Amino acid sequence: MDATGYRRHVGLFSATMLIAGSMIGSGVFIVAADMMRTYGTSGFLLAAWGLTAVLTLFAALSYGELAGLFPQAGGQYSYLREIYGPAMGFLYGWTFFTVIECGTLAAVAVAFGKYLGNFIPWVTDTTWLGPHLEVPLLRISQSISVGPYHLGLTPTRLSAIAVVALLTVVNLYGVRLGSRIQDLFTVAKIGGLAALIGLGLWFHPAVPPVAGPYPHQLGDVPLPFLTALLVVQTGSMFSADAWNSITFIAGEVKEPRRTIPFSLLIGTTLVCGLYIVANLAYLRVLGPTGIATAPQDRVASAALQALFGPGGGLIMAGVILVSTFGCLNGLLFSGARVYQRMAVDGLFHPLAARLNQHGVPAFGLWIQALWTCALTLTGTYGQLLDFVMLPTILFYVFTVGGVILLRLRRPDLPRTVRVWGYPVVPLLYMAGACAIVGALFIYRPSYSWPGLILVALGWPVYLAVKPRVAQS
């Protein structure tokens, strides 16, 4: 048992499954469509996923060193607090709770509900259960707008709330049960993704895909290749995000100084490799035009339908249900540990600091579930995720930069794991991530300025809770 009351049950296999299960949600089955519409060639799509893989691996290697230095619950929050102080830690934790974690949970849960509708016809997002409110598009400036929003409850959103509540209850009974569920569903979803890849690379579609790049609409001016490569990272990096989830439960990992770095390396390499090969399969079956024009951007479903007809779409819907269920469990399982660590430091509600009789932060799990369910009702979670991609990347930059700062400030710290290729690997990640941030500011202002505003809203909250920090 950890000194804080956590019970160390998670070994290397379960840690790797948590990373892979949290990373693989619904994004890899969908985002290729928008990426292809941005530029339109096969080489571009593979280059974009390749860049995501390299940056994710470089970040994971850097986090491995930090995990060896600070093997306690809280992960990235703990790293930022140790390196930069409580204010930076709180701003990350604030953004993590309000949008990054709960917004991702809401988005994945609603994706679960939408695909459930393939098997249960009454589960739809077009029927309102009770009153609903429509908020029109609000244009803040010529290039920045928010909305429109559709507020209320639908059968799809009700299904999302139900699955979040179910998994929250399950995870109240301890890390051992939660990790076993995660192992099972992650193995199943990796098998499903591998099957999709194998079918796409082995079988030929009845109608050969259209050769050549996707033709842009008349009047559209495509972005330059390098600029487009940076801009589309909002899709591919979101699909590969949550790889740092294992760091949040460090207090429940066996031999965390070694297990966490190895699981980060294995998990990110495995998933990013699968993503690249999956997109190769999409290109072989659908071609650039088929990917860009996939109905409702459901690229994976379109690929299996091209191979096996309507039945292929149902098979893919089943795979995505398993994938989203496992992703939800991994995110719910790990996220509450951040709020528990913040509460111990006086930066969250004091009740979140307590563990129940099973050694899990029950209050953190419930408050996370409640805010997630609220976001599913607002219908705003998709745009919130767009807003927060820029600050998410910025927090990664600060965290990876902390590896260099700690080497300079505290060379005496015992480093059981050192980042491979130091300082080149951390510096290359920071350069690539900063280039993405710059591209978003210039070409996607609706994705950038609102995200920074959301982070800034945490500052007055920090000033309000700051007196508790001195007492903790």
CA angle 301, 317, 380 (to 5 degrees): 90
Out of 68-72, 392-396, 448-452, 457-461, least confident range: 448-452
Residues counted in the chain: 472
Contacts for 293 with CB less than 8 Å, ≥ 6 apart: 33, 214
- At position 136, the amino acid (one-letter code) is P
Q: Tokens for 150, please give them.
A: 């559709």
* CA-closest candidate to residue 151, choices 124, 128, 171, 176: 128
Handedness of CA 27, 28, 31, 35 (dihedral sign): positive
> Could you report the per-residue pLDDT of 11-50, keeping only the tens digit for each?
899 999 989 988 998 889 989 998 999 888 999 999 999 9
Judge if the upstream peptide bond of residue 213 is cis by omega within 30 degrees of 0.
Answer: no
What's the pLDDT score for residue 208?
Answer: 82
pLDDT at 416 over 70: yes
Q: CA–CA separation, 126 vs 280, rounded Å?
A: 34
Count of CB atoms situated within 10 Å of the CB of 165: 15
DSSP structure string for 118-162: TTSTT--SSS-SS-EEEE--EESSSS-EE--EEEE--HHHHHHHH
The CATH code of the domain at 12-471 is 1.20.1740.10
Please state at what angle helix 310-344 crosses helix 362-378, rounded to 10 degrees: 130
pLDDT at 243 over 50: yes
> Could you report the per-residue pLDDT of 265-317, keeping only the tens digit for each?
999 999 999 999 999 999 999 999 999 998 888 899 899 999 988 888 888 88
Relative to beta strand 138-139, strand 132-135 is unpaired
> Could you report the per-residue pLDDT of 43-93, keeping only the tens digit for each?
999 999 999 999 999 999 999 999 888 887 788 999 999 999 999 999 999
Q: Indicate the pLDDT class of residue 195, thresholds 50, 70 and 90.
A: very high
> Could you report the per-residue pLDDT of 202-215, keeping only the tens digit for each?
988 878 888 788 88
Q: Indicate the pLDDT class of residue 373, thresholds 50, 70 and 90.
A: very high
Q: What is the DSSP letter of 295?
A: G
Sole residue written with tokens 């499954």: 17
Q: Indicate the pLDDT class of residue 382, thresholds 50, 70 and 90.
A: low
* CA-closest candidate to residue 274, choices 197, 182, 187, 186: 197
Q: CA–CA separation, 112 vs 99, rounded Å?
A: 19
Question: Which pTM was predicted?
Answer: 0.89
Residues 314-336, mean pLDDT to the nearest whole number: 90
Output phi, psi for 176, to 5 deg: -65, -45
What's the pLDDT score for residue 3?
Answer: 46
Give burial (CB, 10 Å; 0-12/13-18/19+) of 429: buried
Residues 94-111, mean pLDDT to the nearest whole number: 90
Residues 350-358, mean pLDDT to the nearest whole number: 90
**What 3-state DSSP class applies to 427?**
helix
Judge if the upstream peptide bond of residue 361 is cis by omega within 30 degrees of 0.
Answer: no
% of the chain with per-residue pLDDT over 90: 47
- At position 150, the amino acid (one-letter code) is H
Output the CA torsion 303→308→311→312 (10° steps).
-30
Helices (H) and strands (E) in the chain, counts: 19, 4
Q: CA–CA separation, 35 vs 282, rounded Å?
A: 13
Contacts for 291 with CB less than 8 Å, ≥ 6 apart: 32, 33, 36, 45, 214, 282, 283, 299, 302
* CA-closest candidate to residue 176, choices 415, 438, 1: 1
Contacts for 269 with CB less than 8 Å, ≥ 6 apart: 57
Beta bridge partners of 253: 10
Contacts for 271 with CB less than 8 Å, ≥ 6 apart: 19, 20, 23, 24, 240, 243
What's the pLDDT score for residue 87?
Answer: 93
